Structure 1
Amino acid sequence: MKILVALLSLLAILLVALPGPLYKHQILELAPAFAALRYAVYVGIAALVLLLVQIIFMRKNISWPVTAISAVFAIVAIALPVSMMGKAKSVPPIHDISTDLVNPPNFVAIAALRADAPNPAEYAGEETAKQQREAYPELITEIYQQSSEQLFEVAQAAVNDLGWTLVNANKAAGLIEATDETTWFGFKDDVVIRISNTGEERFLDVRSKSRVGKSDLGKNAERIHTLLDAINAKL
């Protein structure tokens, strides 16, 4: 029983830990990677049930350090996928977020990088905009009094500070494009920043879009918030 519990707990944590890196290095497709996370929950639950049986009926034969480690592995294997599922249910199933929903910034240099991506470079449309308005009403065009040159330099510095890959920085067009890669699965999400002039004010819009997946688990909205916070902190 002890060996079985230990093996199940180890299997559960591996089913959580390995799918991300395996997908990131193109060893595993996305569908089986997500399936592994679901199986991790089932295996983790089985391990906890057997642990409970062990504690109740086989207490004399328990190795408490091994039992504790097995319990931690099983709990993590259950908690992480369940947390992701909960997050998915709490946000709309969209992956294209923009501060300007009427005229979203377009990808220019990045468009070619997304040529083979499941999610096209074009804006996702009015249905996505409607869901965004309900979920993230605070994401709107930012207005600044600083010069276009200063705002551009600060925005580019913020992109660099965040560790994103700068793809295009066109000061004349007021356009900055970059790619952010998630740590675990290595998902690549693209960002475009647009700075425009109107009289004495400057308007800054940001759009962030995932290359794969239907739902971004709120990551693109979070990324825009992070960028705007970094820009405002510098200003």
Structure 2
Amino acid sequence: MWARPLVHTGEPGGEDSIMKPSHVAFALAIVAALLLLVAGPGVRAQLWPHGTGFELMRLGAYLGMGVIGLSVVLLLLPRMRRTHPRLLLASMLLAVVVVAIPWHGLREARRLPPIHDISTDTTQPPAFVAVLPLRAGAPNSAEYGGEEIAAQQRVGYPDLAPLRLDLPAEDAFEHALATARLMGWELVDADPASGRIEATDTTFWFGFKDDVVVRVRPDGDGSRIDVRSVSRVGGSDVGANAARIRAYLRRIGG
């Protein structure tokens, strides 16, 4: 008995085809997901610059949209809907996830002000000292941008404000320092005399370095804590610095 041929020469997409359209859709969905998955870690591992990482995410999103369209078309075909519905639905679901992640980031970037320097005190923001050598060559300056930045912050993050504690400044400083360590930040300097704490936080996915300075001052019978968080790269932080400050102050206050 002759062996069955590996490739069917009849109807394209038939049961014996090496690569069915449904398999193509699923393979493309996998490629789109891989582009998304490697974009950030590649930047973190210094395999490519952050601009390339963003382009990989964009390419993955476009490919994901193509997979969604292809899957919908194939599901409209009775033969495909009858023989490979689960594979096509899996392809579509995976592609939706791939598209949704960068789409959410883009939507947030458009909704929030395009700034990367956030402070609870926009009149006299805490100043960096020890971190400055680490920022040498960074695209973003550590100098505060003044009223132009402050006005955008008031619109985008109106809730950010100094934290007041019913503790002497010395005790508040120790509490602020312990909380900075709990946040997982890399401590750069802690100066009790000036009430200044400086640290660096590394983002999870892309490994971006954002610098933080905490200032603790006496305030009547208690103390006042101000926090400033600044990205080293990128025009917009998509809310990352504000979220970091909120989380830190929430932890101190709690």
Shorter chain as denominator, the TM-score bin is over 0.9
Matched with 1:36 is 56
| Whole-Å separation in 1 of the counterparts to 2:85 and 2:47 | 37
Mapping for residues 98-137 of structure 1, pairs under 5 Å: 98-137=119-158
State the distance in 2 between where 1:37 and 1:51 align.
21
Letter in 1 for 2:121: D
Larger Rg: 2
Per-residue displacement from partner, 1:52-91 (whole Å, max 9, x unpaired)? 1222212233162x33432222011110010001111111
8 Å CA contact 1:179, 1:189 repeated in 2: yes
Q: 2:243 aligns with which of 218, 222, 229?
A: 222
C-alpha separation between the residues in 2 aligned to 1:2 and 1:122?
54
Q: What is the count of residue pairs matched by the alignment?
A: 232
| Alignment partners' CA distance in 2, 1:188 and 1:27 | 16
Q: 2:108 and 2:158 mapped to 1: Cα distance? A: 18
Distance 1:198 1:140 in 2: 14
Shift of 1:172: 1.3
* Candidates 182, 190, 211, aligned match of 1:190: 211
Q: How does 1:43-192 map to 2 (within 5 A)?
A: 43-57=63-77, 58-62=80-84, 64=86, 66-192=87-213
Is structure 2 residue 11 aligned with structure 1 residue 27?
no
CA RMSD of aligned residues (A): 1.4
Residue aligning to 2:26: 6
Give 1:148 shift.
1.2
2:166, 2:27 → 1: CA distance?
61
Q: Which secondary structure state, in structure 2, belongs to the residue aligned with residue 127 of structure 1?
A: helix
Q: Distance in 2 between matches of 1:222 and 1:3?
A: 41
Q: Secondary structure at the match of 1:109?
A: coil
Identical amino acids, percent of aligned pairs: 43
CA contact (8 A) 1:54 1:62 kept: no
Whichever residue aligns with residue 173 of structure 1, its letter is: S
Q: Which has the higher contact order (CA 8 A, sep 6+)?
A: 1
Give the letter aligned to residue 84 of structure 2. Answer: I
Cα distance between partner residues in 1 of 2:199 and 2:143: 16
Gaps of at least 5 residues in structure 2 are: 1-20
Alignment partners' CA distance in 1, 2:195 and 2:156: 28
| Alignment check: 8 A CA contact 2:169 2:222 kept | no
Pairing 1:17–2:37 present: yes
